[in-house]
Amino acid sequence: MSVLVGKKAPLFEATAVVNGGEFVEKFSLEQYIGKKHVVFFFYPLDFTFVCPTEILAFQQKMEEFDKRNVAVVGCSVDSQFSHWAWLNTEVKDGGIKGVKFPLVADLSKTISENFDVLAGEYDYNEDGEMEFEGEAVAYRGLFLIDKQGVVRHQLVNDLPLGRSVAEAIRMIDALQYFEENGEVCPADWHAGDEAMSATADGVASYLGKKYE
């Protein structure tokens, strides 16, 4: 599994469904560089079980992302037509109707491969034929990308394990606090908590207040 933290997020152009039903060809995260932080997350498949709980949870918190000037973008190995159908299926019927943030179609699986979240890989069998080993879907990867297009946080869960949207927001708050104030954020830091300067005296002062 690649660690992309500190590196430029892989570039791509793909079709996405935005605003709950509009097709956008050549969708790219480059449109956000210099303008917004981005939470780019992968999920295994449309019309499944854990996935809609995550996607709907992100949508429910869109006001929180918007006020932090953060774009949320989802991606799976489904086609844009599958995304569209799911986005137009009522929640009570297993759909995600009402979701407005972009869902990227990675039918070729190249985006998942480039972010190294594909739950399997291509290899050659004994006959020299290429075949896919494992599950041809994406793990639950999440990447927090700054305005320069650099990955600052990444999290990858196995297929059965849903993510915490609250934790994604906490990491955004921590990154933005550091960018604005230059202070680092200790364990379990939340917006409004005390941070600390990245110096020996700063750490000693913080630890003395917190743990003594």
Alpha-carbon span 88 to 90, nearest angstrom:
6
pTM over 0.85: yes
Name the nearest CA neighbour of 37 among 7, 67, 3. 67
Q: What pLDDT was estimated at residue 30?
A: 97
Q: Which of 140, 149, 151, 150 is nearest to 117 (CA)?
A: 140
Angstrom distance (rounded) from CA 99 to CA 56: 7
CA distance 94 to 162: 17
Q: Rounded to an integer, what distance in angstroms lies between the CA atom of residue 103 and that of residue 80?
A: 8
Is 75 designated active site? no
- Rounded Cα gap, residues 117 and 10, in angstroms: 12
Task: Quote the longest CA-to-CA distance of the chain.
Answer: 65
Residue-averaged pLDDT of the chain: 94
Mean pLDDT of 106-119: 96
List pLDDT tens digits, range 8-29: 999 999 999 999 999 999 999 9
Give the mean pLDDT of 83-112. 97
Marked catalytic residue, from 4, 51, 104, 156: 51
Domains and CATH numbers, the chain: 14-161 (3.40.30.10)
Mutual orientation of helices 50-60 and 165-181 as an angle, nearest 10°?
40
∠ CA(56), CA(60), CA(66), 5° rounding?
A: 120
Tell me the residue ranges of DSSP E strands in 125-170: 130-138, 140-145, 151-157
Model confidence at 75: pLDDT above 90: yes
DSSP H helices, 11-164, are: 50-60, 62-67, 80-87, 110-114
Give residue-wise pLDDT tens across range 131-190: 777 789 999 999 999 999 999 999 999 999 999 999 999 999 999 999 999 999 999 999
Rounded distance between C-alpha atoms, residue 72 and residue 36, angstroms:
10
